[in-house]
A and B are shown apart, each in its own frame.
Chain A
Amino acid sequence: MKHIISPTDLTVSELNELLDLSEEIIANPRKFSDVCRGKKLATLFYEPSTRTRLSFEAAMLNLGGSVLGFSSADSSSAAKGESVADTIRVVSSYADICAIRHPKEGAPYVASLYSSIPVINAGDGGHNHPTQTFTDLLTIKNLKGRLNNLCVGFCGDLKFGRTVHSLINALARYENISFILISPEELRVPEYIRKEVLEANNIQFEETTSLENAMPKLDILYMTRVQRERFFNEEDYIRLKDIYILDEKKMAAARTDMLVLHPLPRVNEIATEVDSDPRAVYFKQAQYGVYVRMALIMKLLEIV
């Protein structure tokens, strides 16, 4: 039995298999509409994240399975002080697989230690969110046709953005990837990403504050929002929150086949005028999230 706690819990070849299965599902969703009949997914959400929870639930329902769970800590046994370990031991006897979201880092790993069903980390604080990374990879793979030979730009909060760190980590395992890291000085990628991931693997990257200058070089632009809760003082947040706004004018400088991704929800960092640009794929990305979760559930339940 396998658990998915971190994006690197899958080897590159397992990841490729997952993405291949996702693409089979995209091509012929009906073929998979009944493969999880009689199986149950438990969604254990100790903090609300409606988008992620609905994506998991839609995935299981699309496979013909059913879902149960809770969507915040105060409606659950956690409110009565039950440990994650005890909760998962009980849930293991109700469901066949579970997705767990928790505000504390490492909670899904704790669950995996005591679980007798596969555990999927659906986000643990600012730590890991593997299905978001798989979603991003599937979006790129399906729309670009490859995960190698790409120049990928990340823009916005590169310091606290776990989706960014995680995707850099995942893409670094493919050939001939280069990165352009676009952020204000205060929100640069952390030192350990530069040292342990980029420099250690001899990956070409440049850091810049200018989104305009980066635009023409990019195959992929991954936009992120600057999150209020990451800041100690409101002033810094106000100063930095709208520092990058992607609009049609900037899009005009980009390649015609560039793609814009965003983990959503978006605030101001992408002007709504960009939504109708065929290169804006962030809403499609949410759809890919359902497909990749379908594939992941099938893999972990060994229904292939």
Chain B
Amino acid sequence: MLNIGVINQGIVIDHIQAGGAMKIYHYLDLENKDVSVAIIKNAKSNKMGKKDIIKIEATLEDLDLDILGALDHKLTINIIENGVIIEKRNPKLPEIVNNVLKCKNPRCITSVEQGLPHSFKLTDRVNGVYRCVYCEQSFDRR
């Protein structure tokens, strides 16, 4: 498999649904952080066919990982220290996600009232479904 070097200190976000890496890059605000990032798109995966991977050389405190579950509940987070994986985590699924996901429903009140916080609640833990608290439309991950 393609290997963009081993990182020493940081996290590897693995099993990202293929095509989802850039969105996660964006939500983690990595473009504005002074960290080195490797993005691997369409890597071959036995389990998923294709997947994306992000490797980030950074300390955990610099990253808001809580949001990842809302974006893609099937990904895994590997914590790396001194070049080895010291912990594998499944993403948390927060009950409420404020001002991260944006409701895309053109009929939603948030489409006309810019000042409202965008808020989503977890309605199906098994399938990781989040719905807008206003219009109840589910967040479309694609």
Q: Which residues of A contact B (CB under 8 A)?
A: 83-85, 102-107, 109-110, 124-127
Contacts and interface: CB of A to CB of B under 8 A. Distances in A.
Interface in B92-136: 105, 107-113, 115-116, 132-136
Contacts of B110: 106
A100 B97 CA distance: 27
Contacts of A109: 109, 133-134
A115 to B, nearest CB: 15
A105 B107 contact: yes
B134 A105 contact: yes
Contacts of B111: 104
A105 B105 contact: yes
8 contacts: A105-B135, A105-B136, A105-B137, A107-B109, A110-B109, A124-B109, A125-B107, A127-B136
A36 B42 CA distance: 66
Interface string B33-49: 00000000000000000
B90 to A, nearest CB: 24
B135 A110 contact: no
A215 to B, nearest CB: 34
A110 B113 contact: yes
Nearest to A109: B134
Given A102-B109, A105-B107, A109-B109, 9 more contacts: A85-B115, A85-B116, A104-B108, A104-B111, A104-B112, A105-B108, A105-B134, A106-B133, A107-B109
A126 B134 CA distance: 13
Nearest to B124: A196
B105 A83 contact: no
Contact of A83 (B107, B113, B136): B113
Contacts of A83: 113, 115
A84 B136 CA distance: 18
- What 4 pairs between A and B have smallest CB-CB spacing? A106-B134, A105-B135, A104-B109, A106-B109
B22 to A, nearest CB: 29
A7 to B, nearest CB: 13
Nearest to B114: A83
A125 B116 CA distance: 18
Nearest to A192: B138
Contacts of A106: 108-110, 132-136
Contacts of B113: 83-85, 110
Contacts of B135: 105-106, 125, 127
A124 B107 CA distance: 10
A110 B137 CA distance: 15
Nearest to B136: A127
Contacts of A110: 109, 113, 116, 134
Interface in B54-111: 105, 107-111
Contacts of A107: 109, 134
Contacts of B107: 103-105, 125-127
A83 B107 CA distance: 16
A51 B2 CA distance: 65
Contacts of A125: 107, 135
B17 to A, nearest CB: 21
